[in-house]
């Protein structure tokens, strides 16, 4: 019989041989009946856990009504209901408009196109370490691993990458807060005054917390200073909340931690807890594009919209923002305490239930422990904790937002055991 090797694109990275049979809440069961605590949430997607009855019910009811009828040409209610709910959740006391696609990358494509359309400027600023998806526009903004770009040129022109505020490994070799956010000044002094005409830049796109690039958390105040600079030149501020949005960090949107209002917000992943949905929301004024200029046949599929409405309802009614904040703080504290006794833990960081543990071979040199991070991940998997890495050397914690303390505690134990074994070379 033919299997994955013969039939499936070999372009996937693959973490470990987890073959899922079923899943409930925050527990996975594989085809051999082994159980795992799910620290992945299907890559930050299954926000309300697996098989949430209200989400399933909403999906079933919509399937019974109708499954598809392209909103790009026709109309149905859920698209509008979801837009008005999101309208009220998003930061910014102004009118917003919504474009729906099917994935994170599609929401980023829409941001690229609408920002170019609205400003009539071609340039885009993105970050080193960023991940925005795999389509040609999104991958042109992505800069987290060379393999994601190698062989695909020419990518879209006009994109410049700037330093992300990665304070643990400051690219300018400075320290926060004495640096005074020199990485923002760098954009002004070295890009805008030398080779990137700011009047030709349409938007800067930022993950409020870098995801795939290594769960990197910008310091307080960073985005405020950045936004001031962008406003000075009329450059739109887009945030990619595909991974960090819809409650993951204990707020609806991670940018809220920084008290800055974005012009454009990209969402996907957790918004429909597993049904495909990508959203590009913006200040209504920006979406002045013409009929026929952008669309997506499946975008905003009614089943996905119904699921998203149920997900948002569950997050509200089950206080999942509070749960993410409370259990996230607890997990962060436990991991920070662990850092003292473990030579491989270089940095622990995160907000809510989006937490990264950066592994190093030596705390002074901060030499990246890439192989070791992979080994820790594998050992965790064998002990019943499904967790993956990001960046070259970061263990990432992104469980369903419904996770409970009685599953966080054994997860920490499994992680510590696995880490100790790798540190001892076992």
* Sites of contact with ligand PLP (CB under 6 A): 103-105, 108, 131-133, 207, 211-212, 240, 242-243, 268
- Phi and psi dihedrals of 142, rounded to 5? -70, 140
Between 23 and 139, whose beta carbon lies closer to ligand PLP? 139
Between 214 and 374, whose beta carbon lies closer to ligand PLP? 214
DSSP count for the chain of H helices, then E strands = 12, 16
What are the strands of the beta sheet with 35-38, ordered from one edge?
A: 20-24, 27-30, 35-38, 385-386
Between 394 and 419, whose beta carbon lies closer to ligand PLP? 394
From the CB of 390, what's the least distance to ligand PLP, in Å? 9
From the CB of 242, what's the least distance to ligand PLP, in Å? 3
Between 198 and 218, whose beta carbon lies closer to ligand PLP? 218
d(CA 399, CA 352): 10
Between 388 and 422, whose beta carbon lies closer to ligand PLP? 388
Spatial neighbors of 420 by CB under 8 A, at least 6 apart, are 342
List the end-to-end C-alpha distance of the chain, in Å, as a whole number. 37
- Tokens 């890439």 sit on residue: 370
Q: Find the residue with minimal CB distance to ligand PLP.
A: 104
Between 210 and 323, whose beta carbon lies closer to ligand PLP? 210
From the CB of 268, what's the least distance to ligand PLP, in Å? 5
Is residue 31 within 8 Å of residue 24, measured between CB atoms? no
Between 1 and 147, whose beta carbon lies closer to ligand PLP? 147
Is residue 278 within 8 Å of residue 107, measured between CB atoms? yes
From the CB of 8, what's the least distance to ligand PLP, in Å? 17
From the CB of 403, what's the least distance to ligand PLP, in Å? 19
As a dihedral over the C-alpha atoms of residue 386, residue 392, residue 394, residue 400, rounded to 10 degrees, the angle is -40
Calculate the alpha carbon distances from 202 to 119, 141, 264 in Å.
Answer: 6, 13, 12
From the CB of 244, what's the least distance to ligand PLP, in Å? 7
Is residue 280 within 8 Å of residue 99, measured between CB atoms? yes
From the CB of 351, what's the least distance to ligand PLP, in Å? 14
Spatial neighbors of 128 by CB under 8 A, at least 6 apart, are 143, 161, 162, 163, 164, 171
Is residue 237 within 8 Å of residue 372, measured between CB atoms? no
Calculate the alpha carbon distances from 303 to 239, 276, 389 in Å.
Answer: 26, 9, 31
Between 110 and 369, whose beta carbon lies closer to ligand PLP? 110
Between 62 and 102, whose beta carbon lies closer to ligand PLP? 102
From the CB of 280, what's the least distance to ligand PLP, in Å? 11
Other Cβ atoms within 10 Å of 136 Cβ, number? 14
From the CB of 45, what's the least distance to ligand PLP, in Å? 9
């Amino acid at each position: 019989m033919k299997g994955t090797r013969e039939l499936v694109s070999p372009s996937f990275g693959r973490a470990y041989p987890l073959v899922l049979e079923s899943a409930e809440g925050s527990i996975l069961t594989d085809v051999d009946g082994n159980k795992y605590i799910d620290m992945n949430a299907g890559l930050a997607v299954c926000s309300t856990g697996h098989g949430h009855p209200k989400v399933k019910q909403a999906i079933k009811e919509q399937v019974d009504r109708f499954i598809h009828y392209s909103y790009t040409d026709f109309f149905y209610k859920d698209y509008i209901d979801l837009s008005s709910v999101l309208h009220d959740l998003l930061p910014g006391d102004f009118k917003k408009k919504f474009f729906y696609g099917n994935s994170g990358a599609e929401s980023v494509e829409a941001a690229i196109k609408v920002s170019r359309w609205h400003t009539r400027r071609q340039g885009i600023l993105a970050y080193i370490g960023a991940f925005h998806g795999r389509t040609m526009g999104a991958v042109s903004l992505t800069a987290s691993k060379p393999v994601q770009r190698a062989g695909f040129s020419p990518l879209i022109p006009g994109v410049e990458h700037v330093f992300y505020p990665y304070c643990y490994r400051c690219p300018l070799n400075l320290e926060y807060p004495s640096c005074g956010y020199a990485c923002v000044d760098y954009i002004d002094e070295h890009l805008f005054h030398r080779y990137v005409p700011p009047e030709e830049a349409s938007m800067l796109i930022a993950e409020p917390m870098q995801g795939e690039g290594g769960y990197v958390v910008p310091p307080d105040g960073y985005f405020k200073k950045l936004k001031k600079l962008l406003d000075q030149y009329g450059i739109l501020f887009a945030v990619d909340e595909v991974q960090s949005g819809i409650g993951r960090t204990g707020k609806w949107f991670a940018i809220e931690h920084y008290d800055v209002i974005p012009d454009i917000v990209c969402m996907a992943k957790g918004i429909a807890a597993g049904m495909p949905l990508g959203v590009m929301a913006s200040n209504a004024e920006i979406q002045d594009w013409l009929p026929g200029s952008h669309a997506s046949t499946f975008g905003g599929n009614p089943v996905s919209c119904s699921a998203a409405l149920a997900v948002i309802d569950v997050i509200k009614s089950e206080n999942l923002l509070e749960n993410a904040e409370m259990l996230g703080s607890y997990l962060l504290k436990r991991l920070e305490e662990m850092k003292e006794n473990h030579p491989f833990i270089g940095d622990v960081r995160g907000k809510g239930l989006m937490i990264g543990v950066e592994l190093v071979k030596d705390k002074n040199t901060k030499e990246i422990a890439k192989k070791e991070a992979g080994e820790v991940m594998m050992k965790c998997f064998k002990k019943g904790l499904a967790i993956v890495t990001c960046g070259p050397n970061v263990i990432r914690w992104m469980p369903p937002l419904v996770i409970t303390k009685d599953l966080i505690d054994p997860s920490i134990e499994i992680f510590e055991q696995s880490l100790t074994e790798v540190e001892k070379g076992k």
